[in-house]
Amino acid sequence: MNRAGTRISGAPGASILETLVALILAGIVTTAIFKVYINQHKNWSIQEHITDMQQNARAAIDELTRQIRMAGFQIPLHLSGIQARNSNPDSLTIVYRADECEVTTMHDMINQTSVLQCDGQDVSCFSAGQWVYIYHPNSGGGEFFQIDQILPAFSHIQPASLGLSQVYAKDAIIMALEQITYFIDYSDTLHPRLMMQLPGRPPQVYAENIEDLQFRYRMKNGMILDVPAIADDVREVRLSIIARAKEPDPDFPSDPYRRRAYNSSVNLRNL
């Protein structure tokens, strides 16, 4: 019995030194694995932010190009198809006709909140809450207003409670126009946004993390201007945007955001 116990107690095993070496080697391997994982995760995160940045920028440039191309389409002569502001970042308002919906008033307005009577005409193409444009061909002026109610049976359009800025005489024209303003919102300094705004409505976010918007205008005489003196003389709009990543990159402490610049030019066919 003693001889068996001697054999067991004398069996070979791991010394403390061997155990420490094994732990050190395991730690080195584990550290290397975690380092590879962290680097891979960081690279994946960077690529995801770059992809989001590029998608936002491309969506923004496509939207601006498409809308600017429509500027001035079938609008009244007294209206400007574009309204430029060199505010750095710049802003731009474009106006164009949205559809064929148009009616003419058949009676003088009594006051600024009077119902607009378009006897015998189809007003069902308009809708309650819609913003439309009214002007008189002989006055050379007009305004956007919001419709409160449509009465198709009577061919009546009721303006919203605030009414109009003036009383329009018979033969005033009501039509559906789009008026869209684009600008950069810096209210959240970490995440600047490209905004779009329609008449009487709060601004809406169109693209996140767009930090700069610039416009230049080629006139019919070939000059390139930051602000056109006469909007109807613009023949081309050159635009550029700068998008930046959603999150800062710690590898660039002095300027931590990755950026991409995109440019486009739009020939104006309606001015």
Cβ proximity of 64 and 89 under 8 Å: no
The span from the CA of 79 to the CA of 71, in Å, is 11
3-state secondary structure 25-55: HHHHHHHHHHHHHHHHHHHHHHHHHHHHHHH
User: What distances in angstroms separate CA 78 from CA 105, 136, 137, 138, one per listed residue?
Assistant: 19, 11, 9, 11
Q: What is the pLDDT of residue 183?
A: 96
Helix (H, G, I), strand (E, B), or coil: what is residue 181? Answer: strand
| The token pair that represents 174 in the structure block | 């009501």
Q: What is the pLDDT of residue 59?
A: 87
Element (H, E) at 237: strand 234-244
Radius of gyration of the chain (CA): 33
Which one, of 217, 263, 224, 223, lies nearest residue 82 by Cα?
A: 217
Q: What is the pLDDT of residue 53?
A: 84
Backbone φ, ψ for residue 22 (5° rounding):
-60, -40
User: What distances in angstroms separate CA 100 from CA 29, 47, 118, 126, 184, one per listed residue?
Assistant: 71, 45, 16, 11, 32
User: What distances in angstroms separate CA 157 from CA 140, 166, 179, 187, one per listed residue?
Assistant: 22, 16, 20, 38
Q: pLDDT tens across 102-128, in order?
A: 999 999 999 999 999 999 999 999 999
User: Which of the residues in the chain have pLDDT under 50?
Assistant: 1, 4-6
Where do the structural domains in the chain lie, given as residue ranges?
50-267
Q: What is the pLDDT of residue 1?
A: 47
Q: What is the edge-to-edge ordering of all strands in the sheet holding 224-225?
A: 224-225, 210-219, 234-244, 259-267
Q: What is the pTM of this model?
A: 0.80
